[in-house]
Amino acid sequence: MPLRKSPNNIFVKLLLGFWLCSSLIFAFVSILPLLQQNHDQSDLPPKLERLLAKMANNVIENPQILQSDKLKRWSRLKDKNDRQIKIFLVDENSNVLNTHKPPRALRRFMLMADEAPKPITHQFRDELFFGPYHFKVDNTPYAIYGTLPEHHPRPWFLFFIDNKSLTIGITILLSGLLCGLLAWNLGKPLRSLKRSADALASGDLSSRVDQATTARNDEIGQLAQAFNGMADSVEEMVHSQQRLISDISHELRTPLTRLKLSLALSRKKGQESQEIQRIEYEADQLEQMIAELLELSRVKLNAKENKLTLELAETLNQVIDDADFEAEQQSKELHINIDEEICLPVYPRPLSRAVENLLRNAIRYADSKVTIQTKSQPEHLIIEIIDDGPGIENCNDLEAIFKPFYRPHSARERESGGWGLGLAIAEAAITAHQGNIKAENVEPHGLRVSITLPR
């Protein structure tokens, strides 16, 4: 499917996401000094301008103040609120005349005032500077600046200017959150796609990607649509294969029935021979194999039926009774440890057939004892069938024994006379339950087959 030129494709989303993230962070950091300047700096109010004019007139009327020790006393006064006001007299060379150590904040304010088109005020931490007021004495220019102790509440965002390390940390955190939201937006549909792919790989052919993912107008939505199309094709092909096997098995039964009918007629006519006995034996074997193939197809095609929530003990009751009778006939013991209170959703017939095949297999190869038991977990139920037989010599065969027509070269199969379909039927039945089945050797000898079913 060609890539659609759409504003919703992943390239555009990534570009816009990271561009927006970096732009917001840059704007946040860049605007803080401007906000501080707009908050701390304003025009000189008339009240303070009159105060500076009054002090300037005092110097103009009494120029001897500039040449006497009275300059220091002249530069200090109090307002109506009993606040200490400091006045700084500056000459044309920007030298402060009434103090030998002018405050650093005064120098900063003088630079700000030189750049301003008219007199201003500026709020520092605990002081308010204001000015300048220009005047002349004997044609010599002077300027007056003032400061008074004043603390104005600052907006919360100016806190970041005074705490640069914290600002950097918060900026990194915010960028991480924004990038995390972008990653989550991209990762959520991918996780949905992964779950559907895992379910399909485990045998759930009905698994599809959810509609919210397929409705996306980007590459992920296109991928989800392609996945669903592939899953539809795979499901159709698998079901067609199973139907073909089932149809062939049905068709084989017709000539097989005619063959057995011919054998019966031959016997009635007294035509009994070793060859006829052999033909009858092979016909019986062929009929059993066809029955197994039909059962395998039926189990695999049964996956879309509705499950029934039943008690496990009741579901397996007849199977266990038959297995107990068969074990008794072979002088072997069957130990049963199944919690009668266990209920779970199952396909009754496929599950019973799976357990029946496993029990018959275990009884056939056990030396003296077979055990069937259950283990409950919060989300799963485990059914274990254990025998004390020879086990399976080749460990590679432990997984392969569940494949159709696979017969390992071991003592468990040399005398079986089967076709390797019994365990394949069991595996297909458990897969239809979205469960799994595995075999493992136990010490000192024997085999354990574990069935895991979702609760």
The CATH number given to 308-454 is: 3.30.565.10
pLDDT greater than 70 at residue 67: yes
pLDDT winner (highest mean) among 41-55, 356-370, 402-416? 356-370
Other beta carbons less than 10 A from residue 295's beta carbon = 22
Q: Please report, rounded to a whole number, the percentage of residues in the chain having pLDDT higher than 70.
A: 83
| pLDDT, greater one: 315 or 18 | 315
Average pLDDT, integer, range 304-314: 81
Residue 142 has a pLDDT of: 93
Q: Which of 39, 100, 152, 250 is catalytic?
A: 250
> Where in the chain is CATH 1.10.287.130?
219-300
Residue 414 has a pLDDT of: 39
Cα 273 to chain centroid, rounded = 71
Average pLDDT, integer, range 141-147: 93
Q: 3-class SS at 146? A: strand
| pLDDT, greater one: 417 or 70 | 70
The single-letter DSSP state of residue 378 is S
Confidence of residue 4 (pLDDT cuts 50, 70, 90): very low
pLDDT greater than 80 at residue 44: yes
Place of tokens 């609760």: 455
- Express each pLDDT in 287-299 by its tens digit: 777 777 777 767 7
Mean of pLDDT over the chain: 80
CATH label, 219-300, candidates 1.10.3720.10, 1.10.287.130, 3.40.50.2000, 1.10.10.10: 1.10.287.130
Report the alpha-carbon distance of residue 430 to residue 402 in Å, rounded.
11
Residue 40 has a pLDDT of: 57
- Express each pLDDT in 388-443 by its tens digit: 988 888 777 788 888 877 766 554 443 455 566 788 888 888 888 888 999 999 88
Stated as kind and residue range, the H or E segment containing 454 is strand 447-454
Confidence of residue 334 (pLDDT cuts 50, 70, 90): very high
Specify whether 250 is catalytic: yes
pLDDT greater than 60 at residue 254: yes
| pLDDT, greater one: 40 or 101 | 101
Any idea which fold 44-158 has? Answer: Beta-Lactamase (3.30.450)
> Where in the chain is CATH 3.30.450.210?
44-158
| pLDDT, greater one: 333 or 417 | 333
Report the alpha-carbon distance of residue 316 to residue 353 in Å, rounded.
9
Residue 169 has a pLDDT of: 75
pTM: 0.49
Residue 140 forms beta bridges with which residues?
Answer: 137
Residue 39 has a pLDDT of: 56
Are the beta carbons of 401 and 392 closer than 8 angstroms? yes
Residue 301 has a pLDDT of: 62
pLDDT greater than 80 at residue 32: no
Residue 256 has a pLDDT of: 78
pLDDT greater than 70 at residue 302: no
Long-range CB contact pairs, 64-67, < 8 A, 24+: 66/97, 66/137
Report the alpha-carbon distance of residue 368 to residue 115 in Å, rounded.
104
Report the alpha-carbon distance of residue 316 to residue 343 in Å, rounded.
12
Q: Is the dihedral of CA 169, 170, 171, 175 positive or negative?
A: positive
Single out the residue of 440, 433, 436, 390 nearest to residue 412, CA to CA.
390
Average pLDDT, integer, range 305-321: 87
Residue 445 has a pLDDT of: 86
| pLDDT, greater one: 199 or 130 | 130
Q: Is the dihedral of CA 259, 263, 269, 273 positive or negative?
A: positive
Q: What's the token pair of residue 406?
A: 């696979």
Residue 5 has a pLDDT of: 45
In this structure, what is the dihedral angle of CA atoms 268, 271, 274, 275, given to the nearest 10 degrees? -100
| pLDDT, greater one: 305 or 111 | 111
